[in-house]
Each structure stands twice: as C-alpha cells, then as structure tokens.
Structure 1
Amino acid sequence: MGKVLSFGELLLRIVPDTEGKWLQENSLPFFVGGAELNVASALALWGVPTSYFTALPDNLLSKQLIGYLQELGIGTESIPIQGDRIGLYYLPKGQDVKNAGVIYDRAGSSFAGLTPGSIDWDSVFEGVDWFHFSAICPAINQNVADVCAEALKVASYKNIQISLDLNYRAKLWKYGKDPVEVMPALAAHCDLIMGNVWAANKMLGMPLQEELVQDIEKEKLLQHAQLTSEEILRAFPKCKTVANTFRFDHGAKGIRYFTTLYTHRELLVSQEYVVNEILDKVGSGDCFMAGLIYGFHQGHSPKQTLEFATAAAFKKLFILSDATTSTVAEIEETIQEYAN
C-alpha cells in the first residue's frame, strides 16, 4: 500500500472567545490545523501511511511543529524550509470557518511563497499512490495555483489517485481571479471531487437550480446532488466519484447532517444525523474527506466508505480541535448507534 500525500498550508488557529474574556485572562487558545493537515492527521490515526507537504520557516516553532507531526505518524520528509512565517487564522469557538467573522493572517507566509519550478515532484511523489489537495491552496495567490497545477500534472502522469475538496473561502480569493477561472483546469486531473452543490456552482461553474435548494428539502437536495454529480462527471471525464455534504443548523446549537456519493451511475445516500448541540464545526468536512480516502484506499465498497466518512465527520463535531481524535472502532460504533 502506497502513501497518501496531502498538500496544503499548515495553519495555527487562534480561538478568542466571543465575550472577550481572553483579554482579562491574558490567554488565547490555539489549535494546529489547516484543511489538508486535518486530512493527514485523521489518516495517520487510522493507520494509513501518510505524508504531508507544506512549507515552514527555519525557526524553533517549525522544528517543534515538525516533531509534533512526526509523533502523529505523519511523514514530513518533503516539507521545504523557506520563508519567514507560519500562517494564522482567528476564529471564535464553535464558529464555522466559512463564517464572516474569520480573520486570516496568512499574507507572506512560507507556503504563500511557493513558486513553480522549485519543487522536485518526482522525489516528493516517491512511494505515493494518492494525492490530496483542496481549493484553499489555489485561492492563496497565482504562484501557489501554478504549483498546484504543476503537482497535478506530475501526479496524473504517474497514475496517482487525486482527490479535491472544493473548500470555498471568499476572503482568500483576492488576487484578481474568480475560482471558476482557476479551479476547472485543476479539477480536470481529479478522480474524486468532494464539496456540495453550492461550491460546485461557485468553483466549477456547475448549474445551480434555485428551485431545488431554496427550501432545503431533502428529496430536492438529493435530486440536485445527482444532477450536479452527473454534470461534473461529464465536464471532467477523469473524475469517477463525486461526494456532497449537507449540513444545516438545527435549533440554536445543533445540526442536521447527511451526505451523498455518486459513483458507477448511482447516488448513494448516507444515514442522517440530527443532534441538538455540537462543540466545534471546524474540520468536520476535512474528516469526511479523510473518511472517503480511507475507505477507498482500504478497498471498501462505496456504501461502506460513505457511511464511515459521514460518521467520522459527525463525530468530529464533538471534538474541540481542528483534527479528529476518533478511532476507526469508535467511528464504526457510531454508525451502529445511529443506524435507522
């Protein structure tokens, strides 16, 4: 079994409380994260050979972070040491990273300084059979978008499986291009594309039928998921599988959550999870992506893979960190506990 390589920026998430108590307490909690690192952390926890490509400066914090990743079982052999800083973002506890209140402090980071032509991808991809990245990477700047394209061409040539998470971060697309001008060319290399019908519209130009989404009715959403998935497979012939997540607020503090997987001309629908209170929304989608990679990498059936990924993402909502700490056994227990 080859390695899964995740490509993206390591970030520190600073977590101020919404009441401002951190000012009196003189303390700001933080978590180590970044969408692609969250995927790598989950896979390493679940026993999948895993490596991570980011860029870090030459300082004490970077050395400690690399040691931390290695303790998690994540390979760090490809991480270039360059630039001057580690990216940050600020998000209050319990908020979604898509929330308007998110504050990014990533300009001039080591990862943002990556340039095409500077990376030996043949060496980076040695022993790798799956490559994962997200739409957050090409949102940073044109150079990083070009590095993504460079990596995808080499990975495609080497017949490495490629997965893409259509994470949309409006506050990051600031270098003069809309996502739809960048993402389709990258998506063309991908075997598995994950997101939702809104992200597919915003980032890949897939049609959005308002009459099917305006009332958030499950059957209409499933109908749209199938239409969007079929359109993605037509537009990007290399893609064989499309996943969609549907997560909606339920009451004051809860969520309603279900997902779909379209493959072999069939739309699979997960069991639905409804709870009245959760702890932390950050990283749930990353955990779902990791669950998909885990299932397919282990040779599980599409249905098994979907249910595992969905349960893993659901359990992440009760974990106060960017990455999951749930084991395979715990996730499988959750599937049985909530089975219809």
Structure 2
Amino acid sequence: MKQVVTFGEIMLRLSPPLHQRLSQAGSLDVTYGGGEANVAAALVHLGLPAAHVGCFPDNAVGEAAVQHFRSHGVDMSHCVFRGQRLGLYFLEVGAALRASRIVYDRYESAFAHLQPEWFAWDQILQNAQWLHWTGITPAVSASAAEAARQAIAAARRLGLTVSADVNYRRNLWQYGQRAQDVMPALVAGCDLVVCTEGDAEDLFGIRPEEGAENSFVSMSEQLMQRFPTIKQVIATRRQTQSASHERIKGIAYAEGRYHETDFFDINPVVDRIGGGDSFLSGFIYAQLSGRPLPDALGFATAASALKHTIAGDINLVSAAEVDHILAGNTFGRLLR
C-alpha cells in the first residue's frame, strides 16, 4: 500500500510531571511531537504506512527525535540532518480551572534553516498516495515555505491527494512575509483542508455571509470558490468545560452537503495536545479505507476524543479501538 507523507517540524516537548507548574518542577518529562509527524504516527497505529520528512540537527538530540518516530513505525528515511538546534516547547498540563500553558523556544532551529533543494520531492513521493502539511510549516521561515510549495507542486504532478490544516499562528510569522501573502498559493494546491471560520477570515479575508443559516457552510462555499481544487472542508467544534473536561464534535462540508457528528464528552482530559492531528489522521484513514464521508467524520472525531485520554503528542490507538467507541462502548469497562 502506498504511503501518506507528511512534511513539517518536530520539536522536543518538556513537561513537569503530575500536573505541576514549571516553577515547581524538579524534573521534566521528555517526548517529541509536531503537527504533521503526529498525523503520520497516528496513521501507522491505525494501520496505514506513513512517512515523515523534516530537517533535524546533526547531533544526538536530532537523532533521538527521529528515533522516537521510527519507534512508532514512521518511515523517516527522507529526513535531513543539518544544523545544530531542535526546536522545543514547555507544556504545563492544566487541571480543572487552571488552563494548560505552552512556552515555545523554537527560533533558529535546524528546520527553520533548511534549504528547499535538500528535498527531492519527486523521489520522496514516488511511493505515496497522499501529502499532508500544516500552516505552521510556512510560518517558520521563507525557505520552509518554499519547500512546502515545491512539495505540493510535486504532489499535484504525481496525482496525490493533498491536505492541509491551515492552523494560523499569528505569532510564528516573524521572517518578513505575511501569512496572507504566502498561504493562498499553498492552499490552492489542496484537495482537503481543516479550516475554521476564524482562520478563513484571518488568512483569506473570507467571512460568512451576513444572515447565513450556517456560518461554516457559508465559509466553506466561499473557500471552494476561491480555491477550486478544494473538495472537502472539515473542522471540530469544542465546548471547553474546564482544562479537564472537553466536549468535541466534527463538522464537514463537501459536495454541497453539511455533515456533523454528535458531541463526544471527554472527562477527564489527560492530554489535549495532538487532538487536532488525531482528528485529521482519523479522517485520512477512514477516507482511504473507503468509508463514506459521514462515517469518516465520525471515525475522525472518535479518534480525536480518544487522543485526549492519552499522554504525549501521538494517538496510540488502533482502528478497532476507534470503532469500539463508535459502537457505543464508552463506559470504560475492563477489556479482557
């Protein structure tokens, strides 16, 4: 079976144990993650082959990050080792009324200094059926944005499906180019996007029509008119009760029809990092498995809900476990 290929930065994640604050911590738990690589690893656990492409420092820390994803079965053979620094972030996991908090330390990373010519995309994608990227990658540097552009162009030449989580992070765009000037050309090469009304307005100036019965439908229709290659727009809706209690549902617009799932109630939340990546990986898996869109949306949302119960960035669930939840088995009885 052909691979799903993802492209983006992987970072080192450091978290105080036991819901401690950073000011309390005498030690930090270590893991690795990145929006695109999280999708690749989750897909492998669901049963699809996946590869991740990135740039890492040529040292033991870079090798540890790559080995972490190799241990989950992700093909890391196209990664480049150049530079000296792996981006990192510190995560305080909140509880009840205290929200989780992230502090980033990612500037001047090896990924930010990659050169587009280091990646032979026609060769990398020769055994692929799908390319996935996020709006974080072109936000990191001009060279990363150009590498993403070349990857998307190669994917379209080769007939791959292309997806993106547009994921607008205003504070990341620090290298002199505006997201509003860079992102449209990249999104124009996508078949599927994860996009909310807020991201559509911030990135593309698209606002739901006044008086629209469904703001997501109005936004999606305009997005598809602007970018005719886009055939599906998906997103999640959250009802955050506290740092420990979330309710999520999936929404989608495709072929002139709106779809939504019921809310999944998650209490307690163990770790919400990677929940969006798990939603998209579930959707990709279900689509490539031939499930119709309403079923794919339900599978994706259930996969995301399960990720909220798992520590770390990666969704460590099988397709059978997701289907078990979809069958109504949500009360946590002991499985023997």
Q: When the two structures are superposed, what TM-score results if normalisation uses the length of structure 2?
A: 0.90
Residue 21, structure 1, aligned to residue 2, structure 2: no
* Structure 1: tracts of 5 or more residues without a match: 213-219
Report the counterpart of residue 314 of structure 1 in structure 2.
305
C-alpha RMSD over aligned residues: 2.1
- Map 1:196-207; keep pairs closer than 5 Å: 196-207=196-207
Report the counterpart of residue 236 of structure 2 in structure 1.
245
Q: Give the aligned residue type for 2:223.
A: I
Answer yes or no: is the 8 Å Cα contact 2:266–2:305 preserved in 1.
no
Cα distance in 2, alignment partners of residues 211 and 202 from structure 1: 20
Do the aligned partners of residues 29 and 294 (structure 1) sit closer, same or farther apart at CA in structure 2, a change above 3 Å counting? same
Q: Give the aligned residue type for 1:307.
A: G
Do the aligned partners of residues 338 and 184 (structure 1) sit closer, same or farther apart at CA in structure 2, a change above 3 Å counting? farther
Report the counterpart of residue 230 of structure 1 in structure 2.
221
Cα distance in 2, alignment partners of residues 234 and 281 from structure 1: 33
Do the aligned partners of residues 315 and 211 (structure 1) sit closer, same or farther apart at CA in structure 2, a change above 3 Å counting? farther
Do the aligned partners of residues 34 and 251 (structure 1) sit closer, same or farther apart at CA in structure 2, a change above 3 Å counting? closer
Cα distance in 2, alignment partners of residues 64 and 251 from structure 1: 34
Residue 176, structure 1, aligned to residue 180, structure 2: no
Report the counterpart of residue 73 of structure 2 in structure 1.
73
SS of equivalent residue, structure 1 residue 245: strand
Cα distance in 2, alignment partners of residues 106 and 335 from structure 1: 38
Shift of 1:240: 0.7
Report the counterpart of residue 328 of structure 1 in structure 2.
319
Report the counterpart of residue 293 of structure 1 in structure 2.
284
The CA deviation string for residues 32-58 of structure 1, in whole angstroms up to 9 with x for no partner, is: 101111101100111101100011122
Report the counterpart of residue 41 of structure 1 in structure 2.
41
Say which is worse superposed, 26-35 or 182-191, in terms of deviation. 26-35
- Map 1:30-109; keep pairs closer than 5 Å: 30-94=30-94, 101-109=101-109
Q: Give the aligned residue type for 1:182.
A: V
Q: Give the aligned residue type for 1:85.
A: R
Q: When the two structures are superposed, what TM-score results if normalisation uses the length of structure 1?
A: 0.89
Cα distance in 2, alignment partners of residues 176 and 274 from structure 1: 42
Cα distance in 1, alignment partners of residues 301 and 81 from structure 2: 35
The CA deviation string for residues 54-99 of structure 1, in whole angstroms up to 9 with x for no partner, is: 111222233333333222111011001111111101121148xxx8
SS of equivalent residue, structure 2 residue 306: helix
Aligned residue pair count: 324
Answer yes or no: is the 8 Å Cα contact 1:241–1:262 preserved in 2.
yes
SS of equivalent residue, structure 1 residue 233: helix
The structure 1 segments of at least 4 consecutive aligned residues displaced by more than 6 Å after TM superposition are 209-212
The CA deviation string for residues 14-45 of structure 1, in whole angstroms up to 9 with x for no partner, is: 113326221xxx20112210111110110011
Residue 254, structure 1, aligned to residue 232, structure 2: no
Q: Give the aligned residue type for 2:201.
A: N
Shift of 1:307: 0.5
